Amino acid sequence: MVPEAAGAAGTTAGTASGTTEDAALALGDDALVLSHRLAEWAGHAPALEEEVALANLALDLLGQARTLLTMVGDEDRLAFCRQERAFRNVQLVEQPNGDFAHTIARQLYFSTYQELLWEQLAAGDGPFAPLAAKAGPETAYHRDHAVTWTLRLGDGTRLSRERMQRAVDALWRYTGELTRPVAGLAGVDWAALAAGWAERVGATLRAATLTVPEAPARAVWSAGGGRQGIHTEPFGRLLAEMQHLHRSHPGARW
Amino acid sequence: MPGGTDWPLWEVFVRPRRGLAHTHAGSLHAPDAELALRNARDLYTRRGEGVSIWVVPATEILASSPEERDPFFAPAADKPYRHPTFYEVPEGVRSL
């Protein structure tokens, strides 16, 4: 019942194709949705220590989401009252946890993207510079964690390598969307970001003895559309769980 | 949590930001030293900046045994000649 696009009202500084609010919503939704996915691991991680690590990442991301959504409006209203079609997160972050390898591959792809994005935004003087400066070190740790596990699973046993490769391949089609320009996000060199992403992820996968999937040819279908509010099927269920209580008791204080 | 118990035990020593020495903070399970370090960071430092962490495989630590306590640690209270108390500190000496 909110806003067909919570950002539509804003008219502050932005690129021709969008406002700062549009960009904050996109980046905030990325962090919010991935945070929710990581939180689903609570009580189910392969080891107690890893559980703490995943929860830590989830909390960092939730913190980023709160800052970003607050730039747009009321964070709770934005998180709990929007319908699927109003969310602007990339499709990668809404993908189910799958096995541990899938979670790690998703984390590797996303944290590498986020790290590069924060680097660029922190260097500029745009509205996201303060957040980027704060989130940068957090995200560097997220990537370090993902790299650590990618190496161990890829270069581990035959089974762990198989599973890691499967995850890397399965999620690859969602990575193209990461390096497409975000509406309203000025001052980002997307070509450099894409090149940096391919280099860092490629180096990690090769070090882990894994095969780097080939970039989808132009003719081949690849996923994307999250930024336009078009999401994959598991996302609806994620929202149903996340928003259930708020929708049952709308307007309650907690 | 299957698998968790296969991981060896590590002892964690942490030096706080303003601390002078590493203090034993606790233990954890990890498959190798790198992950032990990362886990220790998550579990024992809450990411406070400027701290130093040591991790040591528990099997590398040799502890004194309780039975040997007496010969090992018996205080030398009845051996006053062991204590450096029989000389006067000259005036003007600092840091003593």
**Average confidence score pLDDT of chain B:** 81
Would the CB atoms of B42 and A48 count as touching at under 8 Å? no
Asked if pLDDT for residue A131 goes beyond 70, the answer is yes
Decide if A154 is inside a domain: yes
Would the CB atoms of A46 and B1 count as touching at under 8 Å? yes
Domain span including residue A233:
20-212+222-241
| CATH at residue A124 | 1.20.1260.10
Helices (runs of H) and strands (runs of E) counted in chain B: 2, 3
Residues 9-28 of B with CB under 8 A from A: 28
Asked if pLDDT for residue B78 goes beyond 60, the answer is yes
Nearest to B1 among A47, A56, A148 (CB): A47
Decide if A247 is inside a domain: no
- Chain B residue numbers with beta carbons less than 8 Å from the beta carbon of A100 are none
Token representation of residue A44: 């189910």
What is the pLDDT, as a whole number, of residue A185?
92
Which residue is it, tokens 């968790």?
Answer: B4
- Chain A residue numbers with beta carbons less than 8 Å from the beta carbon of B45 are none
Selected residue with higher pLDDT from A14 and B15: B15
Quick one: CA dihedral B17, B18, B24, B26, positive or negative? negative
Selected residue with higher pLDDT from A200 and A250: A200
Q: Are A140 and B47 in contact (CB under 8 A)?
A: no
pLDDT tens readout for residues A4-23 = 444 444 444 556 578 999 99
What is the pLDDT, as a whole number, of residue A8?
41
What is the pLDDT, as a whole number, of residue A15?
63
Decide if A132 is inside a domain: yes
ipTM over 0.90: no
pLDDT tens readout for residues A186-218 = 889 999 999 999 999 999 999 999 999 987 655
Q: Which amino acid is at A185?
A: L
**Whole-angstrom Cα distance, residue A209 to residue B83?**
62
- The percent of residues above 70 in pLDDT, for chain A, comes to 91
Selected residue with higher pLDDT from A166 and B51: A166
Asked if pLDDT for residue A2 goes beyond 60, the answer is no
Closest residue in A to B28 (Cα–Cα): A49
Beta strand B9-15 with B23-29 is antiparallel
- Chain A residue numbers with beta carbons less than 8 Å from the beta carbon of B32 are 152
Q: Are B84 and B77 in contact (CB under 8 A)?
A: no
A94 φ, ψ to 5°?
-90, -5
CA dist list (Å): A174 to A114, A142, A200, B56, B67: 15, 19, 17, 40, 63
**Whole-angstrom Cα distance, residue A107 to residue A109?**
5
Decide if A5 is inside a domain: no
Decide if A121 is inside a domain: yes
CA dist list (Å): B45 to A112, A144, B19, B53, B62: 25, 17, 13, 9, 25
Nearest to A148 among B28, B34, B42 (CB): B34
pTM, two decimal places: 0.85
User: What residue segments make up the domains of chain B, in order of their start?
Assistant: 4-64
pLDDT tens readout for residues A77-125 = 999 999 999 999 999 999 999 999 999 999 999 999 999 999 999 999 9
Mean pLDDT of A230-244: 96
Count of structural domains within chain A: 1
What is the pLDDT, as a whole number, of residue B80?
72
Give Rg (Cα) of chain A.
18
The CATH architecture assigned to B4-64 reads Roll (3.10)
pLDDT range class, residue B91, cuts 50, 70, 90: confident
